[in-house]
Amino acid sequence: MWAKNLLCAAILLSGIALLTGSILPIRPSAQRPAIRLERDFRQQAVVQQIDAAFATAWREASIEAAPPADDLIVARRMSLALVGSIPSLEDIRHLESLPADRRLDIWLAELLADRRSADYLAERFARALVGVENGPFLLYRRRRFVSWLADEIAMNRPYSEIVRKLIAEDGLWTDKPAVNFVTVTINPDDENKPDPNRLAARVARGMLGVRLDCAECHDHPFADWKQTDFQALAAFFAGTGQSLRGIRDYPGVFEVENLQTGETSEMPPAVPYDSQLLPKNGDARAQLAVWVAHPDNRAFARATVNRAWAIMFGRPLVEPIDDLPMSGSFPPALEILTEGFVTSGHDLRQLFAVIASTRAFRLESRLPETRNDEAYDEHKAQWAAFPITRLRPEQVVGALLQSGSLTTLDYESNILVRAARAIGQIEFVERYGDAGADEFDPRGGTTTQRLLMMNGEVVSDLTKEEDLLFSTATRIGTLAPGDAEAVDTCLLAVLTRRPTIEETEYFTRRLRDTRGGQRNERLGDIYWALLNTTEFSWNH
């Protein structure tokens, strides 16, 4: 209940501020993130190579790519992918004030400079690195880990440097947040030591994009991995333990049991491929850290690129995301991005900027009406149309909360607004359901999710009659000069687009000749209907 009171107070403050200003406020440019508008020539070259590779593939497949998407739709995609929310009405006003030929590039640069982007991307990467479980209470701090990771991303720390810290860092999990990568695997009921097998699996899947752990108990049935490959990788963590000083490396050996004879033997540390990249000296974890993030370890760069593409598009270039082949034919775009990522020194910010600048990312998701579902499937497979994907739970609630405010909910927002948003997100995601580390699982939605959207507290608080006095819909109706302008603004705030002629005619008929409470109720109904459209809960 106190969370709802916070939300009401936040809405009241926003409402008072907006009643004295414009219905489409623009934040002063001095308060927007400092950005560098010049695009690195190497970044531009990579974008051109990717566009050329896709153009060649489409031509060879006799496919005509979808037309370019509207700027507002592309801006929505960028916002959902990089900050986990939709653009605010304030953002849209700002966006449309920018020069048309540079609008999306400036918007992209601003998003990447926004602290919300670092926070959101940190959570997305954390799911692959430490999962979503709470871990051992006294020895693991997930929130501390994600906050540290966000700081590293905000400083644009090379991803290779971040990964080396995760694997090799010593110390207390509270003072050295990277250590939580190790402590999350500790089982308090099993000698209170980090689990070498779980750590090896995290390194393989989360950093290298391979399911080496499928060979934990026997040779991999569908790949060339042997059981000894997994055991030798786990052996790098055999001497890792924890004491009052935190995580440290101690003398230790990794013993494996022969299930047929029952005998145990020592397994020395070894990497499953490219052993020439492994340093000859140093502690075991430090050696492994150098090998994993080595510029010549293509699997590391390829896996990172594939995950970044999946975050931007909703699905990876190569599926499953954690089971990439070690050799063979890869999509040209993946190889071009991988080479660019290595050349940049594993620059995550540049990687996301390149992907968001490609023609494939900025295409329409729909084809001309003459095309059928089979044609769309072919276009989707060839990235000749933007793939339509469900929003993740945190994207859904982020979009819901943002649609309830005309101004941008970010670090410049009132403290009550930020507190209400944080509380609302946690409660909503718990009820909506979360796929956890399997965030790119293409499974469909559930009845529970639809009911939560139709009847849940977050949507109800935005549209129910007793809160309509201070609701966004009512403020729009109060400040808009006419019914058509109110409808236009409602669709911008919820769907990030303007209404069609038919939509304008339909909704204005609903508002015609209404006053006071009846008008507020009709506007609330329109807002509720828009929030419950498929268009709102999908990326397109």
Cα distance between residue 351 and residue 93, in whole Å: 28
Mean pLDDT of 258-280: 88
Band of the pLDDT at 519, cuts 50, 70, 90?
A: confident
Tokens of 214: 């499928």
pLDDT tens by residue, 37-69: 445 667 899 999 999 999 999 999 999 999 999
Q: Which of 538, 449, 531, 455 is nearest to 491 (CA)?
A: 531
- Any residues with CB less than 8 A from the CB of 336 and at least 6 apart, and which? 46, 49, 50, 53
**DSSP class per residue in 426-480:** HHHHHHH---TT-TT------HHHHHHHHH-HHHHHHH-GGGGGGSHHHHHHHHS
Choose between 213 and 293: higher pLDDT: 293
Q: Is the pLDDT of residue 303 over 90?
A: yes
pLDDT at residue 488, rounded to an integer: 96
Cα dihedral angle (55, 303, 271, 276), rounded to 10 degrees? 50
Pick from 50-59, 240-249, 273-282: least confident: 240-249
Amino acid of residue 443: R
Amino acid of residue 187: N
Cα distance between residue 177 and residue 170, in whole Å: 10
CA 481 to each of CA 347, 455, 484, 486, 488: distance values in angstroms, whole numbers, following the listed order: 47, 31, 9, 8, 11
Q: Is the pLDDT of residue 261 over 80?
A: no
pLDDT at residue 436, rounded to an integer: 61
Mean pLDDT of 122-144: 91
pLDDT tens by residue, 6-42: 445 444 444 444 443 445 555 554 455 555 544 566 7
On average, the pLDDT of the chain sits at 85
Q: Which of 196, 199, 225, 198 is nearest to 211 (CA)?
A: 225
Choose between 255 and 223: higher pLDDT: 255
Q: Which of 195, 204, 203, 285 is nearest to 248 (CA)?
A: 285
Q: Which of 241, 212, 216, 207 is nearest to 129 (CA)?
A: 207
Amino acid of residue 107: W
Establish how many alpha carbons lie within 13 A of residue 336's alpha carbon, considering only the half-sphere containing its beta carbon.
Answer: 21
Choose between 438 and 416: higher pLDDT: 438
151 φ, ψ (degrees, to nearest 5): -60, -45
- Any residues with CB less than 8 A from the CB of 135 and at least 6 apart, and which? 142, 180, 183, 184, 186
Q: Under DSSP, is residue 294 helix (H, G, I), strand (E, B) or coil?
A: coil
pLDDT at residue 81, rounded to an integer: 98
Describe the crossing of helices 284-292 and 159-168 by its angle, rounded to 10 degrees.
160
Q: Is the pLDDT of residue 531 over 50?
A: yes
Q: H-type helices in 41-177, by residue range?
A: 41-60, 71-83, 89-96, 103-113, 115-129, 142-154, 159-168
Band of the pLDDT at 219, cuts 50, 70, 90?
A: low
Residue 484 exposed, middle or buried by CB count within 10 Å (0-12, 13-18, 19+): middle
Count the neighbouring beta carbons within 10 Å of the beta carbon of residue 326: 16
pLDDT tens by residue, 342-398: 999 999 999 999 999 999 999 999 887 666 667 788 899 999 999 999 998 889 888
Amino acid of residue 430: E
Band of the pLDDT at 410, cuts 50, 70, 90?
A: confident
Residue 359 exposed, middle or buried by CB count within 10 Å (0-12, 13-18, 19+): middle
Measured over the CA atoms of residue 79, residue 83, residue 84 and residue 89, the dihedral's sign is: negative
Mean pLDDT of 194-222: 86
Q: Is the pLDDT of residue 305 over 70?
A: yes
Q: Which of 362, 303, 382, 355 is nearest to 47 (CA)?
A: 355
The residue whose two tokens read 């497949």 is: 61
Cα distance between residue 127 and residue 311, in whole Å: 12
pLDDT at residue 455, rounded to an integer: 53
pLDDT at residue 111, rounded to an integer: 96
Q: Which of 313, 233, 287 is nearest to 305 (CA)?
A: 313
pLDDT tens by residue, 155-184: 999 999 999 999 999 999 999 999 999 999
255 φ, ψ (degrees, to nearest 5): -100, 140
pLDDT at residue 19, rounded to an integer: 40
| In contact, 115 and 411? CB cutoff 8 Å | yes
Spacing of C-alpha 299 from chain mean position: 21
Cα distance between residue 507 and residue 10, in whole Å: 28
Q: Is the pLDDT of residue 215 over 80?
A: no
Tokens of 106: 């400036």
The residue whose two tokens read 């033997």 is: 265
pLDDT at residue 20, rounded to an integer: 39
Structural element, H or E, at residue 539: strand 538-539
pLDDT at residue 352, rounded to an integer: 98
Amino acid of residue 281: N
Pick from 207-211, 435-439, 464-468, 526-530: least confident: 464-468
Q: Which of 108, 158, 120, 111 is nearest to 357 (CA)?
A: 108
Cα distance between residue 299 and residue 292, in whole Å: 9
| Residue 261 DSSP label | T
pLDDT at residue 151, rounded to an integer: 98
Q: Is the pLDDT of residue 285 over 90?
A: yes
Q: Residue 248 forms beta bridges with which residues?
A: 241
For residue 320, whether the previous peptide bond is cis, meaning omega lies within 30 degrees of 0, is yes
| Residue 23 DSSP label | S
Mean pLDDT of 413-429: 55
| In contact, 237 and 193? CB cutoff 8 Å | no
